[in-house]
Structure 1
Amino acid sequence: MAVLTASGLLALAAPAEAQAAASCTGRKVRTLPFSTGTVHVYKQGRYVCAVTLAKNPGRERTMSVSVQARGHRPVVRKDKRTRRISTPLVYVGNRCVWVKGSVSGGSVSSGWILC
């Protein structure tokens, strides 16, 4: 029981960045900051995932994130959230990717990366 309690406390103490990694697998390859949040990009083999984190979590607001492999349509997630939103793993092969994210009025667009 003590082990479960200790692990629960560690999970609560983890920073938002570590919690973002829980929704995307792989290693973090880019961080894209903007005025109202940050987008973290993760890569696992030939797959990419992205997470948009709100700079000031708490109140619900419109958030979005997208990953687009060159030559393909973007995978977009948009919803009202309080803290974060993420894409599923997107197969990109060996293609460049374009990542976008937004929280309220702020946004970021990567241009073609990971080429």
Structure 2
Amino acid sequence: MTHGAIRKARAGFVLLSVALLLLLVGPLTGDAQAATRCAGRKVDTLTFSTGSVHVYRSGGFLCAMTYAKHPGTTRSMSVSIQARGSRAVVKSGRAKKSMGPVRTLAGSRKVWIKGSVGGGKVSEGWIRYPR
């Protein structure tokens, strides 16, 4: 194999490695996932005056969604999840029924979960799942 062919193969390997690393690290950087709901097993429900936050676990990942207690009226909503040592993954805006999902790699780390619907909110942290 010539030096040119080795360089091209090495460059292809580096490019592939960087793409794979970005794919795996994406959930740790604060990017919300584009799915419409969380996958996995429901492990907790955090209730508050105007809604609730549902928490799901799938492998080492935790996912959260906020739901309005009385859906139908468009209002501000938010949901966030932060694994200790990582940045919070936040999704907020105006919705009628739900906000989210947000997903992060928690492993065995504690997480801080927040949610709000209109004027009501919950902030539950640092907890380890499963409890």
TM-score normalised by the chain length of structure 1:
0.78
Within the alignment, does 1:63 sit opposite 2:77 as a pair?
yes
Percent pairwise identity: 53
1:58, distance to aligned residue in structure 2 (A):
0.3
Q: 1:50 aligns to what SS in structure 2?
A: strand
Q: CA–CA distance in 1 between the matches of 2:49 and 2:56? A: 21
Separation of aligned partners in 1, 2:128 and 2:43? 8
Query: Which of 24, 49, 68 in structure 1 is aligned with 2:38?
Result: 24
- Give ranges in structure 1 of 5+ residues lacking alignment: 1-21
Q: Distance in 2 between matches of 1:36 and 1:45?
A: 30
- Select the residue among 67, 72, 75 that pairs with 1:53: 67
Cα drift, residue 37 of structure 1:
0.2
* Offset, 1:86: 1.3
Q: Provide the aligned length of Structure 1 versus Structure 2.
A: 94
Return the index of the structure with the highest Cα Rg. 2
Select which of 87, 91, 96 maps to 1:73.
87
Task: Give the aligned residue type for 1:69.
Answer: A
TM-score normalized by the length of structure 2: 0.68
Residue among 103, 113, 124 paired with 1:89:
103
Alignment of 1:104-115 (within 5 A): 104-114=118-128
**What secondary structure is seen at the aligned counterpart in 2 of 1:57?**
coil
Q: Calculate the aligned-residue CA RMSD, in Å.
A: 1.2
SS at match of 2:108: coil
Offset at residue 113 of structure 1 (A)? 1.2
* Shift of residue 57, structure 1, vs aligned partner: 0.3
Tell me how far apart the structure 1 counterparts of residues 102 and 66 of structure 2 sit (CA, whole Å): 12
Q: Which has the higher strand share?
A: 1
Identify the match of residue 36 of structure 1 among 50, 58, 68: 50
Question: Offset of 1:82 from its aligned partner?
Answer: 0.2
Please state how far the C-alpha of 1:89 moved relative to its aligned partner.
Answer: 2.7
In the alignment, the residues of structure 1 paired with residue 55 and residue 107 of structure 2 have an alpha-carbon distance, to the nearest angstrom, of 15
- C-alpha contact 2:81 2:103 (8 A) present in aligned 1: no
Q: Which runs of 4+ in 1 moved over 3 A?
A: none
Distance (Å, rounded) in 1 between the aligned partners of 2:54 and 2:108: 19
